[in-house]
Chain A
Amino acid sequence: MKVKLTTKILDANERIAEENKKMFKEAGVYVVNLMSSPGAGKTSLLEKTIEAIKDKVKVGVIEGDITGTNDAERIDRLGVPVVQINTEGACHLDANMIADAAKELPLKDLDLLFIENVGNLVCPAEFKVGEDVKVMILSLTEGDDKPLKYPLMFQESSVLIINKIDLKDLLDVSIDKIKKDAQFLNPNIKIFEVSCKTGQGIDEWTNWLLTSIS
């Protein structure tokens, strides 16, 4: 016999992401899904950001990596709660992994939760985890051709942080081209230029973040 259906195949992840979002909202936590290529500076940005705002808001972090606890140890040194997820091969975090990791955090005591996704400019953009905002980093050393080569990440993100701008005189990279192409793909994208090494531009970013939380 025939059975008629209208079931979404990826419904499971979307459903769990919605449940996560509800849980975070009830706990009063603003959630940032932070995505980029490997080495763009996700953990460095978190270190700079947490140092700048930890007296104003209570921050927690979920670290996603294929293997290892290096990043969680870096965050732990700042004295904020952190949970490390090892995906053991998976190239992105999904909603179910976040649901499990969130149980290890004192959500009710937090104002802001960063989810540092697996370093990858492709797959994390396709999976919701229950975040309020998707923030991506592109570092100058990756080149100014990346927005048009990895369009989905730029289209899905609400914020683009251009990192390593202290290197701009050493590289044949146009920041204007990155901004123009990112805005072409996503006219509403908010852009910050920072250097996690020198601290340049971090204030503008953290001010925006604090305004978004409140």
Chain B
Amino acid sequence: MHEASIAYELLNLAVNECYKNGYSKIETIKVLIGRATGVVPQALLFAFNALKEDTIAKNANLIIEETPVKGVCNDCKKEFESNENYILFECPNCGSFSVNLISGKELNITEMEVS
């Protein structure tokens, strides 16, 4: 995945949101990353820390919360949940690739602390 581009977008969004609320410093940013996105948390953190230097988020901590993959198989109709990194969308019960994901594709900013 493109962790550096994601970190860049994330910083842009956070900085704009901070100014919009009338503040000028970002203390923490919380993000929710689904395990089906292919995003590697360590790589995202590395890119974030490198890119934040000259911004109002330069002292900010990035807190990454990972969400499991949940889905329903179209063949065996069973629901499944996985905490593994999950880029191959295969039903763990019957091996079918015809699955609908309910969650795991999240890539969201959920909360910020600003001052």
Interface residues of A (CB under 8 A from B): 1-12, 123, 126, 151-152, 155, 184-187
Interface residues of B, count at CB 8 A: 26
Main secondary structure of the interface of B (DSSP, over half): mixed
Would you call B6 and A3 a contact (CB within 8 A)? no
Would you call A3 and B112 a contact (CB within 8 A)? yes
* CB closest chain-B residue, reference A94: B5
- B13 CB within 8 Å of chain A: yes
Would you call B112 and A187 a contact (CB within 8 A)? no
Enumerate chain A residues within 8 angstroms of B115, measured Cβ to Cβ.
1
Enumerate chain A residues within 8 angstroms of B18, measured Cβ to Cβ.
3
Enumerate chain B residues within 8 angstroms of A11, measured Cβ to Cβ.
13
A4–B108 CA distance with the chains assembled, in angstroms: 11
A4–B5 CA distance with the chains assembled, in angstroms: 23
Would you call A10 and B110 a contact (CB within 8 A)? no
A3–B18 CA distance with the chains assembled, in angstroms: 8
- A-contact 0/1 string along B1-44, CB 8 Å cutoff: 11000100110010001100101000000010000001000000
A16–B112 CA distance with the chains assembled, in angstroms: 25
A187–B113 CA distance with the chains assembled, in angstroms: 45
